[in-house]
């Protein structure tokens, strides 16, 4: 999250495991009726979501926002496609990135900033299997170092 502002609602932990995130953009989301109430209640899942540039606009797909309990007939489709609000310059940059081979737009975090729902969108390049194994080895080695350091602190 930029500058430590806002309340974190949902995070896509798998994104950093599956992609090298090269650049991030903060985008607003166009929501319907009760969706913001569900977001404030934390009923959001970013797990399988992705973003696409279509006809000069950016849309997020497969972002699951559960229906609001008190919403009755005003509830929305949980998996509907939602438009993201970005500046034209940012959209043009994203178009350039997505035309390159291997780049994709991945939602990283959803948070509330100044009363508005914001989505942190990352430009990611897919990792290969050996990259993922290398990351896991590096993290395990870091854990071992921290564990050994904690053991030395106790003595």
Residue 11 contacts residue 109 (beta carbons within 8 Å): yes
> What domains can be seen in the chain, in order of their start residue?
7-127 (2.40.280.10)
Average pLDDT of 35-40?
85
List, for residues 135-146, the tens digit of each pLDDT value. Answer: 888 888 888 888
Average pLDDT of 29-55?
86
pLDDT score at 4: 52
How many other CB atoms sit within 10 Å of the CB of residue 130?
8
What band does 56 get if pLDDT is binned at 50, 70 and 90? confident
List, for residues 92-125, the tens digit of each pLDDT value. Answer: 888 888 888 778 889 998 998 888 889 998 888 8
How many other CB atoms sit within 10 Å of the CB of residue 26?
19
Residue 6 contacts residue 113 (beta carbons within 8 Å): yes
List, for residues 3-14, the tens digit of each pLDDT value. Answer: 556 788 888 888
**Structure tokens, 68:** 């609001």
Q: What span, in angstroms and rounded, lies between the C-alpha atoms of 61 and 107? A: 10
Mean of the per-residue pLDDT values of the chain:
84
Residues in the chain: 155
Question: Residue 2: is its pLDDT beyond 80?
Answer: no
Residue 66 contacts residue 79 (beta carbons within 8 Å): no
Select the more confidently predicted residue: 6 or 43.
43
Phi (first) and psi of residue 65, to 5 degrees: -115, 115
- Classify the C-alpha dihedral 60-66-71-75 as positive or negative: positive
pLDDT score at 5: 64
Report the alpha-carbon angle 59-92-131, nearest 5: 75
């Amino acid at each position: 999250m930029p500058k430590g502002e806002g309340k974190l609602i949902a995070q896509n932990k798998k994104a950093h495991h599956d992609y090298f995130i090269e650049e991030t953009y903060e985008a607003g989301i166009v929501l319907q009726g009760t969706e913001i109430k569900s977001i404030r209640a934390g009923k959001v899942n970013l797990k399988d979501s992705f973003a696409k540039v279509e006809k000069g606009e950016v849309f997020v797909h497969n972002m699951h926002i559960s229906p609001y309990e008190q919403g009755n007939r005003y509830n929305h489709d949980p998996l509907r496609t939602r438009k993201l609000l970005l500046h034209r310059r940012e959209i043009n940059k994203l178009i350039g990135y997505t035309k390159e081979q291997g780049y994709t737009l991945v939602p990283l975090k959803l948070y509330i900033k100044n009363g508005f729902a914001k989505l942190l969108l990352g430009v990611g390049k897919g990792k290969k299997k050996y990259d993922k194994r290398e990351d896991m080895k590096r993290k395990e080695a870091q854990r071992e170092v921290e564990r050994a350091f904690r053991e030395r602190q106790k003595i």
